[in-house]
Chain A
Amino acid sequence: MFARLPEAAATATISVIIDGKSVCARAGDSVAATLLAAGFDRCRTSPVSGAPRGPYCLMGVCFECLVSVDGVGNRQGCLVLVREGMRIETGAGRRDAAR
């Protein structure tokens, strides 16, 4: 569904881990952009209805792209830039506050 613009190919490749699988990202990508480019169109389920959710506004207001980043739950994926080796986990329902 999503493809990178040709000029983005020039930026450095880094690798992150999404749900235990190694995925290629580009330096400067947000976590949400990495998810979409890697084909993850759903990153969590609603804690109220259980409906699947995916990145939407990509600018920090809709709170749809919540994922766990390096063990911290409910980070807004669109506001976090990827780093080499970052561990990203998609989620289901409510965050465990102890994590």
Chain B
Amino acid sequence: MPSKSAECDVGVVGGGLVGSCLALGLARVGQRVALFDEGDGAVRASHANFALVWVQSKGLGLPEYAGWTIRSADAWASFAAGLKEETGIDVAYERPGGFHLALSEAELEKRAQELKRLHNQPGMVRYATEILDRRQLEGMLPQLGPEVVGGSFCALDGHCNSLRLHFALKSALKGRRVRLCPDHRVERIDWEGGAFNIRTRGCSLLAGKVVIAAGNGSMQLAPMVGLSAPMRPNRGQVIVTERVQRFLNHPIVSVRQTDEGTVMIGDSQLEGSDPQKMTMSVNQAMAARAVRIFPILARLNVVRMWSGIRVMTQDGFPVYDQSERCPGAFVVCCHSGVTLAANHALTLAPMIVAGRLDPVLDPFSARRFDVCQAA
């Protein structure tokens, strides 16, 4: 039961995409929300995203994740329309279907086998990811390089403009009078007499509920309220080109052209969590592969490169959990903050208001990590 002295209904810890979407969803149903965020110097996984709203290949090892992903991808158009109505900002969501492309028959065969394993899982949601040959691809991807032999296509894949997504979320939060607390790194959370005392350096706030959505930082914060979030962050690199006229009408998992014309290239997975690191040989390999896929890219100037951290749990799947010891405490951790944005705002936030996660989220509890390691 919330304490009488609680200054807000829900304190959300973490102002990235996940925390912002949850805070917006909570505010939309009338909750008084405080959103805590670190300063500009923080390691921000949300600011390094690739802006895909992506379905294909997700869920091998946890088929429920595929269903949860499709639910969000299906809700994205109305989520984007809601943001536009609330803020006037168009986040440029498109769902033209996306590709994985193969540069050899062996790659294509490997891709087909992966998809077969994914879709053959018991309990897997049914949807189509087709393997297309080169002739079928040519009609959809006019600038395709001669080495591309085929690829997989899923009509459910899409992408958005993530800069404008961040901007729209912040505008919507301000419009909904969410109490924004930037430069407030949460140091401690204490459960005191039915409310959560959220402490930052030099100040504290009492909240009836708390949602920990602090990315990789959730690992430290979750145990304070009887939760856990075992993380294993990794790093990725992205190359950004100058703006050019639209030549690519579909997102490829490693190459996409934004609505404003830039081309983003990036599919690296590196160990480590220091975003200051940049491995140039990895960028060379990414660029070389991208040019083999679309030779026209060789003509473009690169204007930026960056390195970013992925929020990654130990098995790569999201953690959605509620505390038994401290009722009203929740943890939300996932890699796909863009894809799952619609679910977080539209589906998860109302569950948090109700005080109970729906059984559909049971497979995502961190209890799945509480198993004895076999010898």
Residues of A within 8 A of B (CB): 47-48, 63, 66, 73-74, 93-98
- Chain B interface residue bracket vs A: 10 to 19
Q: Is the CB of A94 within 8 A of B243?
A: yes
Instruction: Tell me if B127 is interfacial: C-beta within 8 Å of chain A.
Output: no
Residue of A nearest to B297 (CB): A97
Query: A94 to B244, Cβ gap below 8 A?
Result: yes
Q: In whole angstroms, how far apart are the Cα atoms of A94 and B244 in the complex?
A: 5
Smallest Cβ distance from A91 to chain B, in angstroms?
A: 11
Q: Cβ of A97 and Cβ of B244 under 8 Å apart?
A: yes
Given A47-B260, A47-B261, A48-B260: A96 touches B303 (CB 8 Å cut-off): no
User: Can you list 20 pairs linking A and B with CB atoms under 8 Å apart?
Assistant: A47-B261, A48-B243, A48-B260, A63-B303, A66-B242, A73-B244, A74-B242, A74-B301, A94-B243, A94-B245, A94-B261, A95-B242, A95-B244, A95-B245, A97-B244, A97-B247, A97-B296, A97-B297, A97-B300, A98-B299
Establish whether residues A96 and B245, one from each chain, have CB atoms under 8 Å apart when the complex forms. Answer: yes
B interface majority secondary structure? loop
Per the bound structure, the CA–CA distance linking A52 and B243 in Å amounts to 16
Residues of A close to B247: CB separation below 8 A: 97-98
| List of A residues within 8 angstroms of B245 by Cβ | 93-97
> Chain B residues near A94 (CB, 8 Å)?
243-245, 261
Task: Knowing A47-B260, A63-B303 are in contact, say whether A98-B243 is a contact too (CB < 8 A).
Answer: no
Contacts of A98 in B (CB 8 A): 247, 296, 299
Q: Which of B244, B296, B300, B303 has the most CB of A within 10 A?
A: B244
CA A66 to CA B297, docked complex, whole Å: 18
Closest Cβ neighbor of B296 among chain A residues: A97
State in angstroms the CA–CA spacing of A74 and B262 once bound together: 13
Chain A hits for B303, CB < 8 A? 63
Task: For residue B135, give the distance in angstroms from its CB to the closest CB of chain A.
Answer: 23
Residues of chain A within 8 A (CB-CB) of B243 are: 47-48, 94-95
